[in-house]
Chains A and B, each alone.
Chain A
C-alpha cells in the first residue's frame, strides 16, 4: 500500500484554539488546543467521560463549544450564516458509531440522499456515483438494495462510511469505526480508511478505543486528559511518555503484536 506520510508543511484543516465546554458546573474541556494538517489520519483517544464525543460534535458543527474558536478548512466557524454553515457541512463527512442509516431506505437510497438534496446530477449519474462509494467502502454490489435491518454490523459500518463519502468530503469524521468489528474486519477497515486518504486526499479524524488502530492505523494520536489534549504525537512516541495518564492508558491494555 502506498502509505504516504503527510508533508510537514501541509495546510491545517482543523484548528482548535482555547476551546472549553461546560455543562452546568461541570467542565469537560478547558483551554483545549489542537491543530490537524491536511491529509493526516488522526485518532482521538481518551478514557470514558473525557469528552471525546463532545469534541467531535463541536468539530462537525452539531454543537457549539461554550467558548473558544474552531477553524475548519480555513474558515472560522463562530459566526457563520446558515448558508455558509451548510456549505461547510457539505465538505465534512461524519460516520456515526451505530451507523445511523435511515432504516426506511435501502443502502443505495441512503447514499443517494445527500446527492439528491445537494446536487443537480441526473439519476443515472447519481446512482453510479453512489455505487462507486458503496464499492469503495468495501460492500458487494448486491448490498445496494438491502435495507439496514438486513445488514450485519460490519456491513452497516461500511454503508455508513459510503454515505459519509457521498459528497467527497474533505474531512472525514469517524466515531468508533472499528468497534463491534472482529479483528480481521477492523484491520481491513483501517486499511480501507488509509487507502481512501491516499486516493482521495481526505483528512481523517476518528474516535477509537482499538489499540491496533491506534498503533498501526493512524499517523498521530490526540490524547485527551486533564480537560485538554494532553499529547499529540505518533503512537510509538506516546508509549514512551511518562505522563501518568498515558502510562496507565497504554500499559493496562494488552497489545497484540
Chain B
C-alpha cells in the first residue's frame, strides 16, 4: 500500500469480501467504488483463494453501501477469476441500478488499453537522433538565412523598420538590465583586484594592478558577464514570449494577416539587443574598472593619480577587442532566443523546454565564441 487516498472526510469503509463455505455465499460489503476498492483490487486473488474449484457461488450484495463503475469492474473481474477456476458467480442479488452498471461495463467490451507504440531499437534511436540533429541544423540555417535576407533590405530602407518595437525592446533588454549588470561587474572587479593584489603585493608590484584590472575587465570580464546576464534575462524572455505566441496561435494569426513573424517579432528583438548589449558592455567596463581601482586605492594604498595614469596608458585596442565581441554576442543570444521560441510546437511543456534550452545554448555559444575570438586576436597580435 504505497499511497493513501488523499482525504478521509466522509466516513468510508473499504470494499470487502467474506466467503461462507457452508452456504456457498460470497458476501460483499463496504464501498464498492473507485476510492474504496483499492485494497480489494490489490489482493483479489487472495480474497478468492479459499473458494473451491467448481463451486456455485452466490453473491450477497445487501451490505454494499455504494457502487460505481469501478465496483462493477471489480465484480466482473471476480466473476472472470472464478470462471477461470470452473466456479460460477450468481449476481442476481444486485439491485437494478447495480445491474445497469454491470451491463454498462460489459457493453463497452474490451478494456485493456492498446499496447503502446513500440519503442525504437537502439540502432533506430541512433539514426533518428542523427536525423533530428541534421534537421535541427538545417532549421537553424533556414532561420538564420531568413532573418538575414529580411534584415538587409530593411537596413537599407531604415524608415521601414519598426522603430517603436525596437525602442521598446531596447528599453526592456537594456535599461532594465542596468542595475544587475552594474552590480555584478562592480563586484567582480572588486574580487579580481583583491585576489590578484594580495599576490602582487608580495612582489611589490601593486603599481601594475590597474594594468591587470584594465586588461581583464576590458577584454574579457565585462563583455562576458554582460552577455551571460543578458542571455539569462533577455534571451530566455524572447524564447518564452515567442513560444507562448506559438502555443496560442498568435504567430499563425500574424502569418494569416500577411505579416511576417520574422519581421514583426524577431528582427526588432535582434536589432534592439545588438544596440543594447554593446551599451551595457561599456557600462559594465566602467563599473568593473571602478570596483578594481577602488580596491587598489583603499586596500593596497595605490595613489589614485598613478592608477588613472596607468589605466590611461593602456593601448586602446583592449577596449576595442571587448567592444567587437559585444554585438556578436548580442546577435547570438537574440537569434537563439527567438529561434527556440519559434521551434515551440503546441504544448505548454514545450515553452519551458525551449526557454531552458535557449539559456543553455546562448551561454554555451557565448563562451565558445569568446574562445574563438581569443585565439583570433592572439594570432593577429592584438
Contacts and interface: CB of A to CB of B under 8 A. Distances in A.
> Do A and B come from the same complex?
yes
Interface of A: 81, 83-84, 86-87, 90, 103-104, 108, 115, 117-122, 124-125, 127-133, 135-136, 141-142, 144-145, 147-149, 166-168, 199-201
B33 A168 contact: yes
A87 B104 contact: no
A92 to B, nearest CB: 14
Nearest to A114: B34
A199 B104 contact: yes
A199 B100 contact: yes
A122 B34 CA distance: 11
Nearest to A136: B108
Contacts of B347: 103-104, 147-149
Nearest to A167: B34
A119 B105 contact: no
Interface residues of B, number: 42
**Looking at chain A's contact residues, is the secondary structure mostly helix, strand, loop, or mixed?**
helix
A245 to B, nearest CB: 34
A131 B112 contact: yes
A104 B349 contact: yes
B255 interface: no
A132 B105 contact: yes
A145 B237 CA distance: 33
B179 interface: no
Interface string B335-359: 0000000000111110000000000
A108 B113 contact: yes
Interface in B1-45: 1, 3-10, 33-35, 37-39, 41-42
B113 A127 contact: yes
Nearest to A81: B9
B111 interface: yes
A120 B7 contact: no
A251 B39 CA distance: 56
Given A81-B9, A125-B73, A128-B111, A119 B117 contact: no
A90 B8 CA distance: 12
Interface of B: 1, 3-10, 33-35, 37-39, 41-42, 68-70, 73-74, 77, 97, 100-101, 104-105, 108-114, 116-117, 345-349
A90 B10 CA distance: 11
A142 B9 CA distance: 38
A135 B34 contact: no
A118 B3 CA distance: 9
Interface centre among B10, B70, B104, B345 (most CB of A within 10 A): B70
Contact of A120 (B5, B97, B113): B5
B354 to A, nearest CB: 14
Contact of B108 (A90, A135, A142): A135
Given A90-B35, A132-B108, A167-B34, A125 B7 contact: no
Nearest to B66: A168
A168 B70 contact: yes
A183 B100 CA distance: 30
A132 B102 CA distance: 12
A167 B6 CA distance: 14
A103 B112 contact: no
Contact of A83 (B7, B104, B105, B349): B7
A163 to B, nearest CB: 13
Contacts of A167: 34-35
A123 to B, nearest CB: 10
Contacts of B112: 124, 127-128, 131
A166 B35 CA distance: 11
A120 B38 contact: yes
Contacts of B42: 120-122
Nearest to B104: A199
A252 B110 CA distance: 47
Nearest to B4: A120
Task: List the 3 closest pairs (A to B, CB-CB), nearest first.
Answer: A120-B38, A103-B347, A149-B346
Contacts of B97: 201
A149 B68 contact: no
A147 B346 CA distance: 10
B34 A83 contact: no
Contact of B35 (A81, A84, A118): A118
B70 A120 contact: no
Contacts of A149: 345-347
Contacts of A133: 69
Contacts of A124: 112
B117 A200 contact: no
B105 to A, nearest CB: 6
B6 A144 contact: no
Contacts of A108: 113
B17 to A, nearest CB: 15
Contacts of A142: 114
Nearest to B77: A125
Nearest to B112: A128
B5 A131 contact: no
